[in-house]
Amino acid sequence: MPPEDDNQENEIIRDVELPTTPDEAEKIENIIGFFPTMDSVPEYTPEAFHEQIVVYKNGSTRRLYWYDDENGEWVYVGGST
């Protein structure tokens, strides 16, 4: 479920522990830890780069969302397990 207000949502996004070195960030297996993982569609307006990409997991549905700043909307590509 989406957070009740923007402050709570920003807390959730900012609580993500980012890799400490570029070497860690470059490994594809670290994508889950690098970007927030949510079970609801993102509806906030990102303020930082790491907030513009979200891994979505809900049941067997998997999506990678990114924020299209030019159009002010979230877009995604889907996958399956």
Residue 43 lies in a domain: yes
**Residues forming a β-bridge with 27:** none
Say how far apart CA 26 and CA 45 lie, in whole Å: 25
Say how far apart CA 13 and CA 15 lie, in whole Å: 5
Residue 1 lies in a domain: no
pTM of this prediction?
0.59
Number of domains observed in the structure of the chain: 1
How many CA atoms does the CB half-sphere of 1 hold within 13 Å? Answer: 4
Inform me whether the pLDDT recorded for 76 exceeds 80.
yes
Q: What is the pLDDT of residues 2-44, one digit of tens each?
A: 445 555 555 555 566 665 655 655 555 555 667 888 999 999 9
pLDDT at 49: 82
Residue 40 lies in a domain: yes
By residue count, the chain amounts to 81
Residue 15 lies in a domain: yes
